Amino acid sequence: MPNKLTKIHVILFFLTVVTTTLAGAMLSGVNPLETPEKIYLGLPFSLTLLFILLVHEFSHYIMSRKHHVSASLPYFIPAPSLIGTFGAIIKMKPPIFDRRALIDIGASGPIGGFIVAIIAVVVGLSYSDMVPLQELHKTEGNLSLGNSILFYILAKIVLNIDPSKYDILLHPVAFAGWIGFLVTSLNLLPIGQLDGGHITYALFGERHEWIAKATIPVLILLGIILWEGWLIWAFLMILIGYKHPPVVYPQIQLDRKRRVIGWVALLIFILTFTPMPFGGV
């Protein structure tokens, strides 16, 4: 059965708990080899990030079941990386019957994960430290993170920070929320069968293809000017394809509520998009 919990789901989730906890511990200054008894300090980061991913993927799963679309439970992807994971995915099998299902399935994940990420950012920022810029520049090894519109606004509200004088040393929970914003925006890119691709196809139909085609050169330009990672994303988008398969009943139109949900999701994309996610070390 496509929705059956299997050993591979459990093993991958357990491994991702381990890798994200190790990543969180190292972000907190713990050397797992020298002080393994302090690895638990990585749990605030790990559990926050995993909860964001869980809500995102299970929102997709629940809506897929609602619309009788075959979907698997989430597969988590552990990774020896800065954050300990490459995220999580569910596997869906066509057909998707109409645009209403596309909106429900495509928008539910980003919106669900986004809500949790906002809470994580607000809570985490309240425990974060403000550091004068001159002191931060003297310290080597600090990763410089970019701002999305929403993260900048929340930082101003929670910390009342002057970005010309201070920077923020993020609490692990706030960093997990920052990653949640980044993951949300990446998923909402209006290309192919990404969540954003589902939403733009539902809203604009065949015009989705032109939106996707226009997005790829924008990513390439951002990759040249701001952050090289966008070049990788542009290549991946070309590789997986910018087109979206048609729904079974294209004549069924979206109701007003779903149009609003679709536009809300696109607004979330704008608010969470970070042109230069990583500024350097």
pLDDT in tens, 132-184: 877 665 455 567 889 999 999 999 999 988 776 788 999 999 999 999 999 99
Tell me the whole-structure pTM to 2 decimals: 0.93
Q: Is the Cβ–Cβ distance between 30 and 41 less than 8 Å?
A: yes
Q: Is the Cβ–Cβ distance between 121 and 178 less than 8 Å?
A: yes
State the Cα–Cα distance between residues 126 and 135, nearest whole angstrom: 21
Question: Is the confidence at residue 281, as pLDDT, over 50?
Answer: no
Give me 127's structure tokens: 């425990």
pLDDT digits (tens, 9 = 90+) for 88-139: 999 888 889 999 999 999 999 999 999 999 999 999 999 999 888 776 654 5
pLDDT digits (tens, 9 = 90+) for 39-92: 999 999 999 999 999 999 999 999 999 999 999 999 999 998 899 999 999 988
Nearest C-alpha neighbor of 108 from the set 272, 271, 274, 258: 258
Sign of CA dihedral 138, 121, 263, 197: positive
Residue 135 sits at φ, ψ, to 5 deg, of -70, -40
Per-residue pLDDT at 199: 97
Give me 242's structure tokens: 């910018």
Nearest C-alpha neighbor of 193 from the set 90, 65, 67: 90
Per-residue pLDDT at 1: 42
Give me 229's structure tokens: 């990672």
Alpha carbon distances (Å) from 260 to 26, 199, 265: 42, 11, 9
- 45 Cα distance to chain centroid: 15
Region of 192 (left: φ > 0; alpha: ψ -120 to 50; beta: rest) is: left
